[in-house]
Amino acid sequence: MRNSIFCLALILLLIPPVKAQDLPKDFVDPPREFSVMPFWFWNDTLKDAEIVRQIADFESHGVYGFVIHPRIGLPDNVKWLSPEMIHAMDVAISEAAKRNMYVVLYDEGMYPSGSSSGQVVARNPAHAARGLAKIDLKSGEEPKLSEGTKLVTIVDRPGGERVAIIEQPSGGVIRGLHYLNEGEQRLREESPAAGDILNPDAVTSFIELVYDRYAKEFGKYFQKTVIGIFTDEPSPLGRGGARGVVAGNASILPQIKSILGYDITPFLVDLWYNDNPNSGKHRADYNRAINICLEENYYKRLGNWCFMHDISLMGAGSMDIGTERYFQIPGQDLVWRYVEPGPKALEGQHSTMAKCASSSMLHLGYRRNSNELYGAYGHNLTYDEMVWLANWCFVRGQNFLIPHAFYYSIRGPRFEERPPDVGPNSSWWGDYKHFADACRRMSWLNTDSRQVCDIAILCDATFLPDKSAKTLYQNQRDFNYLEIRHLWEDAKITGRGIQIAGMSYKALIIDTLSFIPEKAKPILRKIAKTKHLIIHADSKTAPYFKGALIYKTTDDLLFAIAKMTVQDISISPGSSSIRCRHVEKDGNDYYLLFNEETEQVITGIGLQASGLRQSAAGGLLWIDPFSMKSTVLKDGETLLFKPHEMKILLAKGEK
């Protein structure tokens, strides 16, 4: 630490004075593509003039794009993708094109995606969401099957009991677009039948009804104005289905067998019971296979369609890093106060989500990653919380924010439907442009830049460890999640570490893994042999990889990381409140420093000379992303981080 500060002091003595206002032009006023792009709830009678007026209002407040989200509250005559809805969409898209604004289309009415507002099932009732269920049989009893159910198999449990495994409709639905009894005290919503998104034929129908229709109606706007299609929370069972039903059907059992390498059919009873010694393994294997089936039968096909039409598939999820590979803009979904100041910012599955999407973007070679945020945070959401959550995303590498939501109307029950309105009907709308401009700058900064980071945490397709991540965040050590499939797909292992997508990881951490594929084991042995692997002592994998450093405590982990990597930014005295991200863009180095907690922090900063090698001729500036006011970093300067404050340190390269 002392050496770091000494190096910084020497460099400061050598550099010439710098003008505080001398900032990159595109940082001060980035292109419009980096704008926040809110969900725009179309939830009332749609009028051409009002659509145009609201778009103009967005633009005047620094919002240069939107996601058209048909929503509960539309009048009965405006059906999903009806001529009336297509007309309204065309008005909005053509107006956006005139104003050099951007549009994302939403693929459902309303959610979860995959049914085209019940049209998939209306076309073919066999394409309704289905699942597996059990029937406990008495001695000598044969299962009685109701209409629409199929017998999959009959399994004997260890105690001699017989169980019939059947396939049946799940009974799942989606949220619809219309109130059935608006004006009454107890509202009822339209609930179309959910589609079977594990069934390739049902997905084909969905693509034809929605995606092909969008291409027909709005294809001329693709790429320039319409930049993506958003798929939202797809569920194999739909919402509100029968209890005890699990995702799956008989037709995908061969696909599951191919994925697992064995026939799961004789062990399906283990989805409900634990009396088999391998019940837990069979359950984990089945769930892993179902997730891969969902990837291949749904996400992959939608992603391929978007790729072929030169637009991006977008969407949301928390820990599903495996499915992110099929999104041209990987996405996350921050709703229901999943994350807020305090423990939830660092602990639990949702604390991993922003880094999940940004890591996916990086390793898959994409430019952008998104976050749908603020949904159902409630009317008590404050402006400070709104800014805090945006910065929480930015310091984790996100660069495309989708505020949930701007409401077309707040008439009657619409005001209470998944609130709050964070746009035109909020108390801060008059000053919103300052927030929108700051978000645009931060998104620009995190796009087409090189992240300076040499630590990765290995993860499963559906589980991202949060404990080691918490330690790294609290000690200003940036990292990425590396999905295990990358080890054999596109990562290169050398004596210098793991090379992938322009990154070089000198430390790979195994915190928690539920399953290690056979393909990964020899690669992990090589990483251990080259002294780049760190494994938690409680991990079942620890004994198998000789040469890996084993850690039990937080101090052990930090010591192991320090053996493999050099920290390029540090603070003294230390603080667990500060998060850090370092990126290089256009020859300049940028350090994002965010006080994530509610107490102020007073500290000093140290930077490795290697991190400043390009700054000797340019200088060091502190930048406020809201005002873009900048001040020169002074030798030995003591820093005050206000609660929830974001500071940016710019180390300018040679002109």
In the predicted model, is pLDDT for residue 610 greater than 50? Answer: no
Largest CA distance in the chain: 91
Instruction: Determine which helix (DSSP H) or strand (DSSP E) holds 623, and give its type and residue range.
Output: strand 619-623
Vertex 224 angle, CA 221 and 225, to 5°: 60
Among 52-61, 156-165, 581-590, the minimum mean pLDDT is found in 156-165
Model pLDDT, residue 609: 44
Contact 315, 331 (CB under 8 A): yes
Structural domains of the chain in order of their starting residue, each with its CATH number: 32-121+197-239+274-445 (3.20.20.80), 453-567 (3.40.50.2300)
Residue 102: burial class (beta carbons within 10 Å; 0-12, 13-18, 19+): buried
pLDDT 10s digits, 174-210: 999 999 999 898 999 999 999 999 999 999 999 999 9
Assign residue 332 a region: left if phi > 0, alpha if psi is -120 to 50, beta otherwise?
beta
Beta-bridged to residue 508, according to DSSP, are 456, 533
Q: What strands lie across the sheet with 150-156, from one edge to the other? A: 150-156, 162-169, 130-137, 246-247
In the predicted model, is pLDDT for residue 39 greater than 70? Answer: yes
Task: Compute the average pLDDT of residues 597-602.
Answer: 95
Confidence of residue 12 (pLDDT cuts 50, 70, 90): very low
Q: Phi and psi dihedrals of 448, rounded to 5? A: 55, 30
Which is more confidently placed, 464 or 2?
Answer: 464
Which is more confidently placed, 14 or 170?
Answer: 170
Contact 199, 297 (CB under 8 A): yes
In the predicted model, is pLDDT for residue 396 greater than 80? Answer: yes
Model pLDDT, residue 634: 79
Model pLDDT, residue 20: 43
Model pLDDT, residue 636: 75
Residue carrying structure tokens 């009893």:
141
H helices, E strands: number in the chain: 17, 30
pLDDT 10s digits, 66-93: 999 999 999 999 999 999 999 999 999 9
Question: CA separation (Å) from 68 to 108, 405, 599?
Answer: 11, 11, 39
183-187, 461-465, 542-546, 592-596: range with highest mean pLDDT: 592-596
pLDDT 10s digits, 119-135: 999 999 999 999 999 99
Q: Phi and psi dihedrals of 582, rounded to 5? A: -125, 125
Contact 461, 289 (CB under 8 A): no
Model pLDDT, residue 317: 63
Confidence of residue 49 (pLDDT cuts 50, 70, 90): very high
In the predicted model, is pLDDT for residue 110 greater than 70? Answer: yes
Q: What strands lie across the sheet with 601-607, from one edge to the other? A: 569-572, 601-607, 639-641
Structure tokens at 364: 């898959």
Q: What strands lie across the sheet with 630-632, from one edge to the other? A: 450-451, 578-585, 588-595, 646-652, 619-623, 630-632
Model pLDDT, residue 13: 35
Model pLDDT, residue 70: 98
Residue among 498, 494, 504, 472 nearest 486 (CA): 498
Helices 432-445, 383-394: axis angle to 10 degrees equals 10
pLDDT 10s digits, 284-336: 999 999 999 999 999 999 999 999 999 999 996 667 899 999 999 999 999 99
Task: Compute the average pLDDT of residues 435-458.
Answer: 98
Model pLDDT, residue 159: 83
Confidence of residue 370 (pLDDT cuts 50, 70, 90): very high
Alpha helices, H only, 35-128: 48-60, 83-98, 119-123
Whether cis (ω within 30° of 0) applies to the bond prior to 625 is no
Task: Compute the average pLDDT of residues 524-528.
Answer: 95
In the predicted model, is pLDDT for residue 614 greater than 80? Answer: no
Give the whole-angstrom CA distance, residue 146 versus residue 149: 6
Confidence of residue 387 (pLDDT cuts 50, 70, 90): very high
Confidence of residue 7 (pLDDT cuts 50, 70, 90): very low
Q: What is the mean pLDDT of the chain?
A: 92
**Which are the contacts of 478, defined by CB distance < 8 A and separation ≥ 6?**
451, 452, 453, 455, 472, 580, 581, 582
Vertex 81 angle, CA 75 and 85, to 5°: 50
In the predicted model, is pLDDT for residue 9 greater than 60? Answer: no
Q: Which amino acid does the sequence have at 373?
A: L
% of residues, the chain, pLDDT over 70 = 94
Structure tokens at 461: 């397709």
Q: Report helix, strand or coil for 563.
A: helix
Q: Which amino acid does the sequence have at 260?
A: L
Give the whole-angstrom CA distance, residue 418 versus residue 100: 30
Confidence of residue 21 (pLDDT cuts 50, 70, 90): low
pLDDT 10s digits, 214-237: 999 999 999 999 999 999 999 999
Residue among 336, 398, 350, 109 nearest 232 (CA): 109
In the predicted model, is pLDDT for residue 165 greater than 60? Answer: yes
pLDDT 10s digits, 531-571: 999 999 887 766 678 889 999 999 999 999 999 999 988 89
User: Dihedral angle at the C-alpha atoms of 89, 95, 100, 106, nearest 10 degrees?
Assistant: -10
Confidence of residue 589 (pLDDT cuts 50, 70, 90): very high
